Every structure is written in C-alpha cells, then in structure tokens.
Amino acid sequence: MKKVIVTGVTGQDGSLMADYLLNNVPDIMIYGGIRRLSVPNHKNINHLIHNNRFSLLELDVTDSENVKNVISEIKPDYYVNFAANSFVGNSWRMPVNHFNTNCMAVLYALESIKNFSKETKFYNAGSSEQFGDVEYYPQDIKHPFKPRSPYGASKCAAHHLVKVYRESFNLFAVQGILFNHEGKRRGEEFVTRKITKKIAQIKKSIEQGKQFSPLELGNIYSRRDWSDAEDFIEGVWKMINQEYPKDYVLASGETHTIKEFINYCLDIAGINGSWVGEGLNEQFISDKTETIIKINKEFYRPAEVDLLLGDSTLARQELNWEPKINFQELVKKMFESDYNSV
C-alpha cells in the first residue's frame, strides 16, 4: 500500500480528504495526523475510526522533532498538510501562533522530507488571502502576494518556502491557492457556517414560538469566491499527482457578498422581511418585526479584503478539474444540514 499523512484530519478539509481517498483511491493507507488535546474533537472522523485503511497518528506540526520522527519512520508517499490556524480574524490577536502553525510547520515538514524521505510528494494548503490588496480581477497564480492580515502573510511565507525547497532540492512540493471553500463540516467560527447555523436556529425558534437572539455580523459587503470544499479536495489530489510539481489556483470564478449569502439562506429558510438602516445600524427585520440580523462593529477586521475572485483556468485546462456544486446549492446544503441537526 502507498502511504499518505493527512494533517489537520479532524478539520473540514482533512476529513474530506480522508473520505475521498478511502472512496476513490484503492491500496492507500491514511495516517491522520492529530495534535493531542485534553478534550479531543473527532466529530468529523468518527465514521473512519474502525476503517482498517485509516489510522490516527499523534503529530503536532509545530514540534519539529515530532515531525522529523514521524516522517523518517513512515516515509510517506504523500504528505498533505491541511493543519493550520485558518481563522483570519483571529490572526491579529494571535500572529505568532499563525506563523508557527502555518509557516514554521511547513518548514519542519520540508526539512524532514528533504533529509529522510525525498520521494514524498508534499502538498500545502494556501489561501486566497495571500493576494490581499488585489491589483486585478480575477486573481490567477501570477498575481502578486499583498496580504492584509497576519494569516495571509503566514500563507505567503509558506508559499515561498515551498517554492524554495522545490527548486533547491528537487522535491515534489506544491502549494494550492484555494479560494473560500465551505461545507457541512466548516468550523462554526467561520462566517458562512455562523450564518447557516444561526439562521437554522432562528427558524426552529420561530416554528416553536420561542425567543431568539439575532445573528450579529461585521462587514456584510465583503465579496468572496465561494465553492464547495468537497469539489476542492478532488482538485488537491489531482494537483499532487501531476507529473511535475506546479502550483494552481482553485476557485469558482464568481463572487458574492456576505449579504447575498445571508439573503439566499433566509430565502431557503422561508424567513421573509427586509433590510433597514445603514452602516452599523443596518438590520434585517422579519415581517413579524423581529430583528433577525444586526451589525456589530466588533466583528470588523482591522484591515479588510473587500473582493476576492479567482481564476482557475489553468487547473481546469491542465488538471481537468472543475467545481460541480454552485453557490446556491452550497448554501442550501449547509443550511439544511444545520437545520436537521440543531
């Protein structure tokens, strides 16, 4: 069997990658890298625990000695790094943590692969936040990196490291720049999941005649290029199995505001009403004069990226990849999952 280490396996992307490999790639053994926690969160991988092609592995990507020992012992065919601190808003409060997790961890893995397992194919998860203060639309792989957050800066640093090790030591190392990708397993601190779960809770409360608190958000006019995370996992696997290592952008090629995401979710939920007010006083009021959504300045970022729109033409042409789930289907899937679970 071939061997793959998937870090961040309890998160959205890591768990989806494990699912994808088990369902589509025969004769591969998956080592799910997890950091030891006092209260483990295995919700996304509970269904895999008893699969004989899946094994949990204690791996703290910020511990260079741990990373070295794991890679030198297993000598994996693939090392897929989804482990990250990926909550952009939090990166201003925890910049060192973001660089340790998102950048230094990549350096530790690349050094270990170079020294102990040079045939390992390495993939690191990049982000559209690398582009930051964008110069043109849509953003392709040639767009300069101009990050606007410590998170974006950490991903840029990792990207440069991947390129340096690829060119200096002839490693198969790539970093995919993935635009926003969401789904049922998205963390509840991310704005899309925050919206779908809270609106699902509000819908249930309305149906049951219960009181509820409104959904509070920051800048609802930021525009993002959203896709379904499951579509991106296939693209990542294609990227790491090309003949020669090359970085790609994965994106839907269309953009929507957070407000559009909200409106479509409200439509699916059958919550009718209208937006009133402006700026920090803007609110969505239901037909029954209930405040469903209001703006909270605490959720604004110190520096905002107003519009991100990806150009994934190269990935579509060279990897024969394209997303299958559109924006509306994504919002519907996320809301219905939350509605059925709250």
The C-alpha atoms of residue 227 and residue 330 are separated, in whole angstroms, by 7
pLDDT of residue 39: 59
| Count of helix runs (H) and strand runs (E) in the chain | 10, 15
Which residues have a catalytic role annotated?
127, 129, 151
Fold assignment, 191-221+257-305+337-341: UDP-galactose 4-epimerase; domain 1 (3.90.25)
Residue 237 in this model has a pLDDT that exceeds 80: yes
User: What are the φ/ψ torsions at residue 258 (nearest 5 degrees)?
Assistant: -60, -35
Residue-wise pLDDT for 250-308, tens only, equals 999 999 999 999 999 999 999 999 999 999 999 999 999 999 999 999 999 887 778 89
What pLDDT sits at residue 7?
98
User: Is residue 312 a contact partner of residue 253, using CB atoms and an 8 Å limit?
Assistant: yes
In three-state secondary structure terms, 69 is: helix
Helix (H, G, I), strand (E, B) or coil at 224: strand
pLDDT at 126: 97
Which 8-state DSSP code applies to residue 281? G
What distances in angstroms separate CA 259 from CA 123, 199, 255, 338, one per listed residue?
Answer: 33, 13, 12, 19
Condensed to tens digits (0 to 9), the pLDDT of residues 299-337 reads: 998 877 788 999 999 999 999 999 999 999 999 999 999
pLDDT tens by residue, 25-67? 999 999 999 987 655 789 999 999 999 999 999 999 999 999 9
Per-residue confidence (pLDDT) for residue 303, from 0 to 100: 79
Sign of the CA dihedral running 151, 156, 159, 160 = negative
Q: Which pLDDT score, from 0 to 100, does residue 134 have?
A: 93
The CATH 3.40.50.720 portion of the chain extends over 2-183+227-253+308-325
**Mean pLDDT along residues 205-216:** 96
The average pLDDT across 110-124 equals 98
> 342 with 204: CB under 8 angstroms?
yes
Q: What are 138-195's pLDDT values in tens digits?
A: 999 999 999 999 999 999 999 999 999 999 999 999 999 999 999 999 999 899 999 9
Q: Where in the chain is the domain with CATH 3.90.25.10?
A: 191-221+257-305+337-341
Rounded Cα gap, residues 51 and 39, in angstroms: 22
The reported pLDDT for the residue numbered 305 is 79
Reported CATH class of domain 2-183+227-253+308-325? alpha beta
